[in-house]
Amino acid sequence: MIDLHNHILPGIDDGPATLSESLELAKIAVDDGIRHIVVTPHIHPGRYENQISTIQPVLQTLQQAIADADIPLTLSMGAELRISAEMISMIPSGKVPFLGSWKGKKVLLLELPHSHIPPGTDKLINWLLSQNIQPMIAHPERNKEIIDNIDKLNPLVAQGCLLQVTAMSVAGRFGDAAREISEILLQRDWVTILATDAHNSRHRPPVLTEGVQAAIQIVGEDAARALVTSIPEYIISNHAET
């Protein structure tokens, strides 16, 4: 399996603090059947001032540690970009890494605030598309405005946004509301991929299997497994770090 949303890098955001904790997450991921992770540290202006130049050395250190520990796991660079006005300058200046590509466009993992969909989001989405960038909305099932009214997501889907749902949401680990939204999104065939959004080993581990098993009950085995195998494989097959 392939995980396209994971905060495994140490000391760079609200994920693991140390390299040893990152290695523990790597082992959990491999035990669950994950063979590749796209690392996605937060880029959140004013909170996590990450960019390619800060992510790359941490990624290289972890890659070397994983190799030294003989853990059969590969990593590539991405990020989770919080929607903001700063995007307009950060992206053209080459500071933001992409997950890979989708139908010729570079895939950007875009995070909404947890509380709402900001006014003007539609304009930012249109701007990204005009830059040959394919937005993928991170964990929409955990956004409070979408939980209150799932139809608030309709315009973003109509614009062409991809959706990444958290595997643990489908499994009910983020509560009934997130699980119910996840089920509806799966039933509507709106989910592009499942990912772990892992942050730590105890409460948010890098585990996909439980969510896949829950998704199988909703959409069937082939469709559920594609969300963690062939579809993420397609996205990373033309991975672009810049």
Cβ(7)–Cβ(40) under 8 Å? yes
Say whether domain 2-236 belongs to CATH 3.20.20.140.
Answer: yes
Q: Which helix (H) or strand (E) holds 38?
A: strand 36-39
User: What is the separation of C-alpha 214 from the centre of its chain, rounded to a whole number of angstroms?
Assistant: 19
Query: What are the pLDDT digits (tens) for 105-126?
Result: 999 999 999 999 999 999 999 9
**Amino acid letter, 65:** A
pTM (2 d.p.): 0.96
Query: What are the pLDDT digits (tens) for 141-175?
Result: 999 999 999 999 999 999 999 999 999 999 999 99
Q: Lowest mean pLDDT: which of 4-13, 84-93, 105-114?
A: 84-93
The domain segmentation of the chain, as residue ranges, is 2-236
User: Pick from 149, 175, 173, 150: which is nearest to 163 by CA?
Assistant: 150
User: Pick from 169, 96, 176, 175: which is nearest to 139 by CA?
Assistant: 169
Cα-based distances in Å from 202 to 160, 198, 212: 35, 10, 19
Dihedral (C-alpha) 41, 236, 98, 174: value to the nearest 10 degrees?
Answer: -40
